[in-house]
Amino acid sequence: MTDTATLPERTTVGIVGAGPAGLLLARLLHRAGVDCVVLESRDRAYVEQRQRAGILEQGTVDALRSCGAADRLDRESLVHDGVELRWDGRAHRIDFPALTGGRRVWVYAQTEVVKDLIALQLADGAPLAFEAEVSRVSGADTDRPVVHYRHLGRERTLACDYVVGCDGFHGVVRRAIPQQELRSYERVYPYSWLGVLADVAPSSEELVYAHSPRGFALLSMRSPTVSRLYLQVPNGEDPADWPDGRIWDELDARLALDGGWSLKRGPITSKAVLPMRSHVTEPMRFGRILLAGDAAHIVPPTGAKGLNLAAADVVVLARAFAALRASGSTDLLDAYSDTCLRRVWRAEHFSWFMTTTLHTDPEQSAFRTRLQLSQLDRIASSRHAAAELAENYAGLDIG
C-alpha cells in the first residue's frame, strides 16, 4: 500500500477508482507521460478478487497490448470464434470471424486484467493508493478541482487540473457535478443473475446463452478447469437458497438440448446474486470533471459490454490528455462525451436486446415469449440477423 507521504498533493489527472477504467487510464497516461494519481477506497486484495466479467473485445485487447499490459493475457487467455444460442431444445452457433470479417473475442477475467495493471503500475512506482476513500470533489466548476480523501487515518487533498470519475455506479465524482447539468436514463430489470464459479472443466468449448421457460442460463468459463455459470433468478434472491445441487439441476434443465447434452458438475467455489440495470448519464463531462466506465454507464451483463465500454472510454480520454500535453489542444477533450456516448448507446441497445430476447420475465405474456422465439429463429435462419448480433458482440469500431 502506498505510503501517504509519497502521494503528491497535486497532479494533472486525479483518477478516482482502481477498477478496469481507472487502472487502464492510469497506465495509458503513465505511458504517455501525463502525470496522474489513482485513489482507490478498497484494499488491493479486494479489488483483485472482485468477480466480474470475462470477455474482451479486440479494442480492449489492443489497448492492453499498447501499454504493455497484455503479456499474461496473450499467454493465458482463451480466444473464441463464436458463441452458441440455445432455445426450445435447439442450438445455433454464431460464427464471429465468418460474420464480421475476422473478429473474435478473448476470454480473460476482469480480475486478471486488474491484477496485471496494478502490478505494472506499482512496479513503475506510479502513484496508486489503496484504502484511500474519496469523500468529495470540490471546485467542480473551477479549473482546479480538488479531491478530498482519507488515507491511513489522515484527511488529504489532491489538487488536479482534471478529475476523472472511474469510481463506478455508486461513486462520488458524478455527485460533484451539479445535478441540473446531468441527464440520466435508466431501466432496472425484473430479474437478476446468480453467478457461480465451479472447479470443473467447462462442458462447452465456447459460451452458451440459453433461453428457456424456466429462465435464462449462461455457460461461460475462466480456464480449461474453471467454469463460470449464471442463472436468471428473481430480484432479491439469497444465494444461500441455492445449494450446489439445485444450481446444477437448474442449469441442466435450462441448457438442455433435444438430442441430449450433459453438463459436467463440480464443487462450486463462489456464489453471488447480481442485479441488472441499464443506465446512462449524459454528458460524461462537466468542465474539468470527466466520467468513465461504470461511473457514466451501466449495462446488463448479457452482452458482455461493461468492461469493454470502460476500456473504450479511457482509450478516448488518454488520447485527449496526450494531445493536450503535446499541443495544448483541448479539441479531443471537448469531444470526449459525444465521442463516447455514440458507442455507449449502441452497447446499451445491444445489451438490452440480448437481455430482453433471452430472459423470461416472470410476468411476460405468451405473446412476448413467441416474439422471443421468433427473434431467435430469425437469427438462426438469416445471415444478416446473425451478423448484426456477431458485429455487436465482437465489438464495433465506433469512435
The residues of the shown chain that bind ligand APR, judged by CB under 6 A, are 16-22, 39-42, 47, 52-53, 110, 133-134, 166-168, 171-172, 293-294, 306-307, 310
Compute the least distance from the CB of residue 302 to ligand PHB, in Å. 5
Selected from 77, 100, 204, 220, the binder of ligand PHB by CB under 6 A is 220
Task: Find, among 30, 17, 295, 317, the residue nearest to 149 by Cα.
Answer: 17
Considering only 13, 21, 29, 55, the residue that binds ligand PHB (CB under 6 A) is 55
Q: Which one, of 189, 173, 167, lies nearest residue 137 by Cα?
A: 173
What Cα–Cα distance (Å) separates residue 278 from each residue in 165, 185, 189, 236, 315? 19, 8, 8, 18, 22
- Measured CA distances, 149 to 2, 285, 308 (Å): 14, 21, 28
- Count interface residues toward ligand PHB (CB under 6 A): 9
Which residue in the list 230, 305, 336, 359 is annotated as catalytic? 305
Q: How far apart are CA 324 and CA 318, in angstroms?
A: 10
Closest CA to 57 of 386, 382, 338, 346: 346
Decide which of ligand APR, ligand PHB, none touches 18; Cβ closer than 5 to 8 Å per partner kind: ligand APR
- The smaller minimum CB distance to ligand PHB, of residues 215 and 301, is found at 301
Instruction: Give the residue, chosen from 7, 53, 210, 263, that forms a contact with ligand PHB under the rule CB under 6 A.
Output: 53
Q: Which residues of 11-42 are buried (b: 16+ CB within 10 A; e: fewer)?
A: bebbbbbbbbbbbbbbbbbbbbebebbbbbbb
Residues sharing a CB contact under 8 Å with residue 185, sequence separation 6 or more, in sequence order = 278, 279, 280, 282
- Nearest to ligand PHB of 55, 233 (CB atom): 55
Q: Is 20 a catalytic residue?
A: no
Binder to ligand PHB among 228, 271, 288, 297 (CB under 6 A)? Answer: 228
Helix 331-358 and helix 366-381: axis angle, to 10°?
A: 110
120 binds, among ligand APR, ligand PHB, none (CB under 5 to 8 A by kind): none
Give the range of 129-137, 235-243, 249-257, 299-307 binding ligand PHB by CB under 6 A. Answer: 299-307
Q: Which helix (H) or strand (E) element contains residue 96?
A: helix 96-100
Residue 209 annotated as catalytic: yes
Active site residue 170: no
Distance CA 53, CA 222 (A): 10
* Residue 293, contacted partner among ligand PHB, ligand APR, none, CB below 5-8 A by kind: ligand APR
304 binds, among ligand APR, ligand PHB, none (CB under 5 to 8 A by kind): ligand PHB
Among residues 105 and 172, whose Cβ is nearest to ligand PHB?
Answer: 105
List 162, 189, 191, 209, catalytic entry: 209
d(CA 187, CA 183): 14
Active-site residue, 305 included: yes
CA dist list (Å): 5 to 137, 154, 320: 21, 11, 30
Q: How far is the CB of 290 from ligand APR (least distance, A)?
A: 13
Residues contributing to the site for ligand PHB (CB under 6 A):
53-55, 207, 220, 228, 301-302, 304
